[in-house]
C-alpha cells in the first residue's frame, strides 16, 4: 500500500507539472484561461476558435456583472480603475474588485456564487481602493483523487493592494486558516528597508506548490523607498521558502524600489520564474544612487526552488526616466532562423522588444550599446550608453522632428513649436533638466501593462504601442518658480533630495498632444525575422474643446490595457480612451467587429469555453487617466445560441 500511495503522489506531481509546463511549450494548444496571461507563462492566447473571422460580426452580449465597488468612491476621495482579467478554474470565474474583494461567478450567467470581503472579517483596517488586475489559482495535487473533498484543496490567492497575500477556498470563498495567520500574510511590515508602503496590483505566480510574490512601491515619493523584495511561500502553509532583494545591501539606505508591478511568467519544465523589475527611487533623479543596481529595470530568471538568479538582463542603466519593465514576460517556443527556440519575450516602455533564450539568457537578436545623452543636473551621472536591440525594430515612435509637431490649428501648432524650442530634447533617453526636458517615449510607454500577446501559429508578437511625449523639469527646493499645482506622483518634492519634480503630458493649449499622431497603434512583429508584418492606428478619442466629436481614425488613441488572441484568427482589444471593444484580423490587422461599452475598458480581455459555448470577457471600469466616468462592469460576449459556428 505504501508503494501504491507513493506511485499516486508521483503521478499527481507529474500531472500537475505537465498541466503547468504544457502552457509554456505548447501554447498553440492552450484552451484554458487559468492564469492572468492565459497560461502561467503568459502570452494572452487561446486556441479556442468557435468565434472566428467568419462569424465574429454576430457576437452579442451574453451577460453582464456589476461588482458595486464604483459606488463606494466618495467625492474628492481616492479612486481606482477596474482592470481585472478574470480566470476560469473548476467551473467558476474568479475576479477581484477595486476594494480588494474576491468574487466567484457562474461562467454561463455571470451570477455570483460567492463573494469575500477581507475588510469585513479578516483584515482589521479601513478598506482602501486600489487597482487589482487578477487572482491566482492553485490545486493541491498531493491529495489522492479518490479521497473525500476537503476544505481549501483548491485555493484562490489574492495579492491585496494593501500589501497582503490572502488565500481563500476556491469552492466557498472562506479563508484558508491553515495558511499564514488565519488565511493571510502581511507584507506591509517594514522588512524592506526604506520608508513607505508595499502595494500589489498583479496576482502572484504559482509553480508546483510554491507561491511567488513580488510587490510594487509608489513612484517619485522619496529617495529611500522600500527595497524591491521577491519572496516564495509554501502554497499550503505560507511558510517562506526564500527571499530575494533587488537593491544591493550597500545601497539600501540610499535608494529603494527596483520593484515589480506587472505579472510574472513561469517555465515549469525548467523550474524558472521570470520577474520584470522597475526603476530605483526616486525615478527621475539618480545622483544619490550612482553605484550599479544590476537587478533594477531588468528581467530576472530565478530558480523557483532556491531563489537564485540564473541570469538577468538590464534594459536601462541608471534609470532616471521611470522606464520600469512594464508588462508580463512571455514564455513561448518561437521559431527563429528555421528552428524552435525556448524563448522569453519582454517589451519595454521604450517601445523595444527583447527576445532571449530562456535557458541561457542569450539574446536571439543582436543588441547594441548606443550612446545616450549626458545629464546637466549637478552630481547626476547618466549612463553614457543604453542597450538597444537591432531587431525587432521599435514598435512605438522614437523621434520627434520640429517640422512634424502637431496641432489642430496653425496657432496651437505654433505654441507647441515654441514649447519644443524652449526645452531640452536630444532624442531617446533625454534626461530631466532644470530648463525642462522632452521625453519620448514617455514613462507611460511605448509599451505598458498588458501590452503584448504571442501568436504561436503565426510566430508573431502582437503589441500595442502608445506614442505620447511627456515633459519633465527639476526645480531646486525653494525656487520661487516652482508651479503651484496639486501634488501628484509626477509633481512633488522628492523627499530626501533637494529637488521638486514637475512631470506632465506635452499638450497644446487645446489639450491635444503636441507630438504627431497616431497616438495609439497595434503592431504585428514576425519573431523569425524581427520585421513588422503590419501596423495600424487603434481607437478614436475626443480631445480638448472637441469633446462631442470623434477624432479621425488615423489619429488613434492613448492605450492602457492590451490585446488577447484566439485560434479563430482574431485579436480582441479595448484599452483605448473611447468606450469600444474591437476585434481585428490577426493576419492583416483589419477591424472586423466592434461594440460600444458603457465606459472605456482599461483591461486585457480573456476567453473561455463553457458547456460548448465560447465567451469573450472584458472589464469596463473607465479611466482615471482619461478623466472618464468610473464603473465596475464585466461584460461577456458570445454568439447567439443556435447560431452558425
574 neighbors 618 (Cβ within 8 angstroms): yes
The b-or-e profile of 321-345 (16+ CB within 10 A means b, else e) is bbbbbbbbbbbbbbebeeeebbbbb
**Separation between Cα atoms, residue 537 and residue 524, nearest integer Å:** 12
Helix, strand and coil in the chain, % to nearest 5 = 10, 35, 55
Question: H or E segment at 25?
Answer: helix 2-25
Distance between CA atoms of 258 and 345, rounded to whole angstroms?
A: 20
Distance CA 44, CA 51 (A): 16
Question: In 3D, which of 395, 271, 377, 374 has the Cα closest to residue 327?
Answer: 395
Catalytic residue among 322, 412, 455, 632: 322
The values of phi and psi at residue 77, to 5°, are: -90, 180
Query: Is residue 419 within a helix (H) or strand (E), and if so which, with residue range?
Result: helix 410-422
* Residue 73: C-alpha distances to residues 78, 79, 634 (Å): 7, 6, 18
Residue 8, all three cell numbers:
499516486
CA distance 539 to 311: 39
Whole-angstrom distance, CA of residue 504 vs CA of residue 488: 10
**Grid cell listed for 321:** 526616466
- Residue linked to cell 505598458: 448
Q: Which helix (H) or strand (E) holds 608?
A: strand 606-610
H helix runs in 56-169, sequence order? 118-121
| Cβ partners under 8 Å of residue 643, min gap 6 | 55, 58
Copy the grid coordinates of residue 243.
527571499
Sole residue written with cell 481614425: 553
What CA–CA distance (Å, rounded) separates 117 from 133?
16
- Strands 154-160 and 136-139 turn out to be antiparallel
Residue pair 369/386 in contact (Cβ under 8 Å)? The answer is yes
Q: How far apart are the first and last CA of the chain?
A: 50
Query: Is 49 tagged catalytic?
Result: no
DSSP string, 39-79: STT---EE---SS-TTTGGG-EEEEEEE-SGGGGPPTTS--
* 339-347/353-357 β-pairing: antiparallel
- Which residues are tagged catalytic? 322
Amino acid at each position: 500500500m505504501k508503494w501504491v500511495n507513493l506511485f499516486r503522489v508521483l503521478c499527481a506531481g507529474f500531472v500537475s507539472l505537465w498541466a503547468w509546463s504544457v502552457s509554456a511549450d505548447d501554447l498553440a494548444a492552450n484552451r484554458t484561461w487559468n492564469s492572468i496571461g492565459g497560461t502561467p507563462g503568459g502570452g494572452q492566447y487561446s486556441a479556442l476558435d468557435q468565434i472566428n473571422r467568419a462569424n465574429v460580426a454576430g457576437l452579442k452580449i451574453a451577460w453582464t456583472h456589476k461588482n458595486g465597488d464604483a459606488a463606494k468612491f466618495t467625492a474628492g476621495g481616492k479612486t481606482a480603475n477596474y482592470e481585472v482579467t478574470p480566470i476560469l478554474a473548476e467551473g467558476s470565474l474568479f475576479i477581484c474588485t477595486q476594494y480588494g474583494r474576491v468574487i466567484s461567478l457562474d461562467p454561463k450567467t455571470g451570477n455570483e456564487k460567492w463573494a469575500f470581503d477581507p475588510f469585513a472579517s479578516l483584515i482589521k483596517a479601513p478598506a482602501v481602493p486600489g487597482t487589482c488586475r487578477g487572482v491566482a489559482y492553485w490545486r493541491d495535487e498531493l491529495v489522492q483523487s479518490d479521497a473525500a473533498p476537503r476544505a481549501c484543496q483548491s485555493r484562490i490567492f489574492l495579492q491585496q493592494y494593501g500589501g497582503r497575500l490572502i488565500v481563500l477556498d476556491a469552492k466557498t470563498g472562506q479563508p484558508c486558516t491553515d495558511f499564514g495567520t488565519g488565511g493571510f500574510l502581511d507584507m506591509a511590515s517594514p522588512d524592506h528597508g526604506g520608508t513607505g508602503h508595499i502595494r500589489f496590483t498583479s496576482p502572484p505566480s504559482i509553480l508546483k506548490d510554491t507561491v511567488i510574490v513580488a510587490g510594487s512601491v509608489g513612484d517619485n515619493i522619496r529617495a529611500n523607498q522600500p527595497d524591491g523584495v521577491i519572496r516564495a511561500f509554501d502554497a499550503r502553509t505560507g511558510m517562506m521558502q526564500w527571499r530575494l532583494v533587488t537593491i544591493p545591501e550597500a545601497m539600501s539606505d540610499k535608494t529603494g524600489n527596483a520593484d515589480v508591478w506587472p505579472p510574472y511568467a513561469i517555465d515549469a519544465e525548467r523550474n524558472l520564474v521570470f520577474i520584470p523589475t522597475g526603476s530605483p527611487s526616486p525615478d527621475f533623479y539618480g545622483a544619490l544612487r550612482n553605484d550599479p543596481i544590476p537587478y533594477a529595470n531588468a528581467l530576472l530568471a530565478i530558480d523557483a526552488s532556491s531563489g537564485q538568479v540564473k541570469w538577468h538582463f538590464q534594459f536601462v542603466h541608471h534609470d532616471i526616466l521611470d522606464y520600469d519593465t512594464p508588462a508580463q514576460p512571455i514564455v513561448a517556443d518561437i521559431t527563429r532562423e528555421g528552428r524552435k527556440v525556448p524563448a522569453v519575450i519582454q517589451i519595454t516602455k521604450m517601445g523595444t522588444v527583447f527576445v532571449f533564450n530562456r535557458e541561457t539568457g542569450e539574446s536571439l537578436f543582436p543588441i547594441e550599446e548606443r550612446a545616450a545623452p549626458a545629464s546637466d543636473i549637478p552630481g547626476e551621472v547618466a549612463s553614457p550608453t543604453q542597450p538597444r536591440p537591432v531587431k525587432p525594430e521599435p514598435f512605438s515612435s522614437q523621434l520627434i522632428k520640429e517640422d512634424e509637431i502637431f496641432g489642430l490649428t496653425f496657432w496651437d501648432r505654433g505654441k507647441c513649436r515654441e514649447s519644443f524650442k524652449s526645452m531640452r530634447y536630444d532624442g531617446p533617453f533625454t534626461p530631466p533638466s532644470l530648463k525642462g526636458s522632452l521625453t519620448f517615449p514617455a514613462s507611460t510607454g511605448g509599451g505598458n501593462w498588458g501590452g503584448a500577446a504571442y501568436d504561436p501559429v503565426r510566430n508573431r508578437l502582437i503589441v500595442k504601442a502608445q506614442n505620447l511625449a511627456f515633459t519633465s523639469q527639476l526645480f531646486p527646493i525653494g525656487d520661487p518658480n516652482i508651479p503651484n499645482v496639486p501634488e501628484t506622483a509626477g509633481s512633488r518634492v522628492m523627499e530626501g533630495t533637494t529637488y521638486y519634480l514637475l512631470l506632465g503630458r506635452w499638450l497644446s493649449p487645446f489639450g491635444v498632444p503636441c507630438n504627431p499622431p497616431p497616438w495609439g497603434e497595434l503592431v504585428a512583429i514576425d519573431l523569425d525575422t524581427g520585421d513588422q508584418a503590419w501596423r495600424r492606428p487603434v481607437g478614436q478619442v475626443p480631445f480638448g474643446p472637441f469633446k462631442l466629436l470623434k477624432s479621425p481614425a488615423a489619429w488613434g488613441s492613448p492605450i492602457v490595457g492590451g490585446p488577447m488572441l484566439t485560434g479563430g484568427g482574431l485579436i480582441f482589444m479595448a484599452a483605448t480612451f473611447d468606450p469600444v471593444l474591437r476585434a481585428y484580423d490577426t493576419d492583416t490587422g483589419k477591424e472586423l467587429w466592434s461594440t460600444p461599452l458603457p465606459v472605456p475598458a482599461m483591461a486585457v480581455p480573456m476567453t473561455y469555453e463553457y458547456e460548448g459555448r465560447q465567451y469573450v470577457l472584458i472589464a469596463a471600469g473607465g479611466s482615471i487617466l482619461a478623466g472618464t466616468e468610473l464603473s465596475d462592469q464585466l461584460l461577456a460576449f458570445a454568439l447567439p445560441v443556435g447560431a452558425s459556428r
